[in-house]
Amino acid sequence: MTEPTSTGSIAALATGVGLASILPGMQTDAFLGAFAGATLFVVSAKNLPIWKRLVYLAISVVAGYLGGTEVMQRFGVVSAGLAAFICAAVIVTLTLSMIERSRTADVTRLPRGGSDG
């Protein structure tokens, strides 16, 4: 059985997505694609607490919606919804892995800038 808090959060979120998709100027297919991609990430991130998943959901929806056009241009994807889905599903995963790698990086091995003059 699901928790009442998580069920209520999902219902509120779905209502917000529905309302946001009818805003003037909003590309509905890209927005719904970004939401679907972000939801895929959130569902697969079971080791994170619910509040972090909701924050990552919001970040991923925004990044997927805004980055969808870039994915369309770079990779020749025709559908705005599919491009936003791909971008939203991948963006947070890549960003989190880069953050983890930066925490364990050995900065003493990085090349030094400047001239040997």
Report residue 27's pLDDT band, with 50, 70 and 90 as the boundaries: confident
Report residue 85's pLDDT band, with 50, 70 and 90 as the boundaries: very high
In a domain, 62, yes or no: yes
Report residue 53's pLDDT band, with 50, 70 and 90 as the boundaries: confident
In a domain, 74, yes or no: yes
Kindly tell me if the per-residue pLDDT of 17 is higher than 70: no
In a domain, 108, yes or no: no
Q: In total, how many domains does the chain have?
A: 1
The pLDDT, as a whole number, for residue 84 is 92
The pLDDT, as a whole number, for residue 57 is 87
Domain that holds residue 40: 27-102
In a domain, 17, yes or no: no
Nearest to 84 by CA among 98, 63, 107: 63
Run of H or E including 24: none
Nearest to 79 by CA among 66, 20, 61, 71: 71
In a domain, 4, yes or no: no
In a domain, 116, yes or no: no
Most confidently modeled range among 42-46, 61-65, 108-112: 61-65
| Cβ within 8 Å of residue 97, ≥6 positions away | none
Kindly tell me if the per-residue pLDDT of 83 is higher than 90: yes
Backbone angles phi, psi at 8, to 5 degrees: -65, -40
In a domain, 6, yes or no: no
- 95 versus 4: which is more confidently predicted? 95
Contact indicator for 56, 44 with CB cutoff of 8 Å: no
CB neighbours of residue 4 within 10 Å = 8
In a domain, 5, yes or no: no
